Amino acid sequence: MKLKNPELLQQANYWDGLWRQSATGEFIEVANPSTRMVIGKVPRVSRAEVASAITAAEQAFISWRQQTAQKRGQILRGWSELLLQHQEDLAEIMTSEQGKPLAEAKGEVRYAASYLQWFSEEAVRNYGDIIPAQKPGQKILVQKQPIGVCACITPWNFPIAMLARKVAAALAAGCTVVAKPAELTPFSALALALLGERAGVPAGVFNVITGDSAAIGDEFTENPIVRKISFTGSTRVGKLLQQKSATNLTKLSLELGGNAPLIIFDDADLDLAVKGAIAAKFRNAGQTCVCVNRLLVQRTVYEQVMQKLDGAVAELKVGDGHQEGVKIGPLINQSAVEKFIRHFDDAMEKGAKLICGDGKSDNLFIKPVLLADAKPNMLFCREETFAPLLAAIPFDTEEEAIQLANDTPYGLAAYFYSNNVQRIMRVSDAIESGMIGVNETAISNAAAPFGGVKWSGYGREGSRYGMDEYLTIKYVLMG
């Protein structure tokens, strides 16, 4: 890794303001998915160490919550600026541990910085209410207070942004955080912690630990000091955390899997729709929870759309994310490749037509696949594919498209293309999903509430709603 600031690559944990190795002496090795070479290692903490980090966060909460919102905002703003200053190095670290193309990694660093910036501004707008009381001389005061120590668990697909958008909201609200990044991509989170330290985040306010996910998850759910868990990851683990959180009634936000439909109606701008579909399907090699997983195309424009897609998919260059012009990096690991092959084989067996790609893997690299004539009974319609496989299903009517779009237990993102304003209103109302992009697929930004319904979870991140997740309402009756 060629870094201008090599100290950004921290192979230690950070809690209570100190960089530490684990008392266990054990490590987790981290490999580059493009080369499969080990790029470094991080400590595997014991459960007792997780508890110590939580206690440090509890101690730090006493003064952090009393800090003025302006001061908290100032620190978050400085942190955001440091991310922007170091975006080249942070992108280098991310591409090395996660595989995504450098340009996407840089985009993610800017996106992460935008959450720190947004919540630096939101910190000072944590308003309450004064409500007219029901007896003379009384007043009802409503105040929003930080919930306490928060645990954040993040996935490997957006190693810096998923953590930044949690920690920015939590710290703005006055909470303190213990974070556990994915074991496959811990270095981006540790670099975030280093820049936080430099920005003046006080000791114990933001802590990052690495280790065995089940043991850390158990401590997070069983330790009564933790009042909130914000999780981004699979629906399977989300459900597990919900069960385990019953012990302490720990508040949860769960941002889980998706199975996004993208509908192209025959009144759409087809070039725009194809561009949107390509961007939303192939970003991060198809490994995002808001990726297009099911493409629904009205039969009257089906042939035209498939032709346009064929050209666009064939152009996407596959390779090591460090190389110029690469649009599709490797998948994260072998089990991701196996899932892709399962979905591909199942679709072919059930009659899909191969237009682009070959359904084979070269190490963790996969040529993007375009399939035509897919059907709703195929596996990719039931499960998130998380790979560069785009499969199109033709449909005839708007009702049929809505029925197909909603025929999934998930409900995170959905997209559709149409230029008929009445249809836009009808379809936006009818689709069961937390987020909808109309004639647009780049829907995630700091100003908007990100989150899902059904098996995609609950709670929102970003926007003013995102801070509510870290606040409790206290009402005071003034007699």
* Residue ranges binding ligand ADP (CB under 6 A): 153-155, 180, 182-183, 213-214, 217, 233-234, 237, 240
Nearer to ligand ADP, 33 or 233 (CB): 233
Q: Minimal distance in Å, beta carbon 230 to ligand ADP?
A: 11
155 versus 437: smaller Cβ distance to ligand ADP: 155
Yes or no: say if 418 and 216 are a contact pair by the CB < 8 Å rule.
Answer: no
- Compare residues 289 and 305 and give the one whose CB is closer to ligand ADP: 289
To the query of whether residue 152 is one of the catalytic residues in this protein, the response is no
Closest contact distance (angstroms) between CB of 154 and ligand ADP is 6
135 contacts: CB under 8 Å, gap ≥ 6: none
Q: Helix-strand-coil percent breakdown of the chain, rounded to 5?
A: 40, 25, 35
Q: How far is the CB of 95 from ligand ADP (least distance, A)?
A: 19
Cβ 215 to ligand ADP shortest distance, Å: 8
At its nearest, how many Å lie between ligand ADP and the CB of residue 237?
4
Q: Residue 167 to residues 55, 152, 181, 203, 475: CA-CA distances in angstroms?
A: 18, 8, 12, 15, 26
The size of the chain, in residues, is 479
Q: Which is closer to ligand ADP, CB of 148 or CB of 238? A: 238
| Dihedral angle sign, alpha carbons of residues 140, 67, 228, 471 | positive
**Rounded CA separation 394/109 (Å):** 37
Nearest to 151 by CA among 170, 133, 135, 138: 170
Could you tell me if 28 and 183 are in contact, meaning their C-beta atoms sit under 8 angstroms apart? yes
Q: Let me know if 255 is a catalytic residue.
A: yes
Name the active-site residue from 49, 197, 255, 384.
255
CA distance 113 to 120: 11
Closer residue to ligand ADP (CB): 46 or 234: 234
Helix or strand run (H / E) with residue 264:
strand 260-264
Q: Tokens in use for 203? A: 């000791």
Positions annotated as catalytic residues are 255, 289
